């Protein structure tokens, strides 16, 4: 195992000193490349009031390749599948080394505010979101209450 790159150290320090509002990211005690993340559901979204746990891992060639991020808390969202995997362009082909942990988490938070059923990962959720949005939002609120509130 090589030493932790300075960039990761700097990013971690900044995340600690100037945390992003509504997001906490704490490195694991035993692995500085693994972060425990909590994102609060954005206001005026079906996820409001929820606390969503995520895991974020910085691969060996970070920042040349994107961090790997996954929701641990179950969430009803057309771009997040039942295993918590996220459909977000900047985590795939639109990744750039100029992006950071901070920007990735902000994008995920924005994804909660603006679900995109036209680029789905969870097909059934996306389908409902398109056909009957109010029911889909009801489901999302219900899941938020059940899985993201009582912990």
Partner 1 sequence: MNFFFDVVLNAFIRMLQLFWFGKRRISNSLSIYVKTNEGNTLCVDLDPKWDIKNVKEVVAPRLGILPEDLKVILAGKELHNSTIIEECDLGQQSILHVVRTQPGRNRTRKLNLPQDTIEELASENSDVNESGSKPMNETLTDLPLEEAEESVTTISEQEQEENRAHFYVYCSAPCKSVQPGKLRVRCERCSSGAVTVDRDPQCWPDVLLPQRITVHCENDFCLPPLSVTHTEEIESQILYAKFYFKCANHTSLGETDESVPLYLIKPNLRKVPCLACTDIRDTVLVFPCEAGHVTCLDCFCDYCTARLHDRHFEFDTVHGYYTLPCPTGCPDSYILEVHHFHLLNAHQYEQYQRFGTEEYVLKAGGLLCPQPDCGMGIIPQSPDTDTTDEECRKIQCIGGCGYVFCRRCLQGFHVDDCETQHPVLSSSQNPATGTYAVDPLKAKDAKWDEASKKTIKVSTKPCPKCRTPTERDGGCMHIVCTRAGCGFQWCWVCQTQWTRDCMGNHWFG
Active site residues: 87
Give the nearer residue to partner 1 in terms of CB position, either 65 or 132.
65
Decide if residue 6 touches partner 1 (CB under 8 A).
Answer: yes
Distance (Å, rounded) from C-alpha 47 to C-alpha 113?
A: 8
Among candidate residues 44, 97, 54, the one with its CA nearest the CA of residue 74: 54
Least distance to partner 1, CB of residue 40, Å: 27
Backbone phi, then psi, for 7, in 5-degree steps? -60, -45
Size of the site for partner 1 (CB under 8 A): 18
Give the nearer residue to partner 1 in terms of CB position, either 10 or 145.
10
- Confirm if 86 and 79 have CB atoms less than 8 A apart: yes
According to CB under 8 A, which one of 4, 16, 32, 64 is a site residue for partner 1?
64
Contact positions vs partner 1 (CB under 8 A)? 5-7, 10, 61, 63-65, 81, 83, 85, 94, 96-98, 120-121, 123
């Amino acid at each position: 195992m090589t030493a932790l790159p300075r960039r990761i150290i700097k990013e971690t320090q900044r995340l600690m000193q100037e945390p992003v509002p509504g997001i906490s990211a704490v490195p694991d005690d035993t692995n500085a490349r693994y972060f425990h993340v909590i994102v609060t559901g954005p206001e005026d979204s079906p996820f409001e009031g929820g606390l969503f746990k995520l895991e974020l891992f910085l691969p060996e060639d970070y920042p040349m390749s994107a961090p790997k991020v996954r929701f641990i808390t179950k969430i009803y969202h057309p771009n997040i599948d039942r295993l918590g995997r996220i459909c977000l362009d900047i985590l795939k082909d639109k990744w750039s080394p100029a992006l950071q942990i901070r920007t990735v988490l902000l994008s995920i938070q924005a994804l909660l505010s603006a679900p995109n059923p036209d680029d789905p990962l969870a097909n059934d959720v996306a389908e409902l979101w398109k056909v009957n949005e109010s029911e889909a939002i009801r489901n999302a609120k219900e899941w938020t209450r059940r899985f993201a509130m009582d912990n």
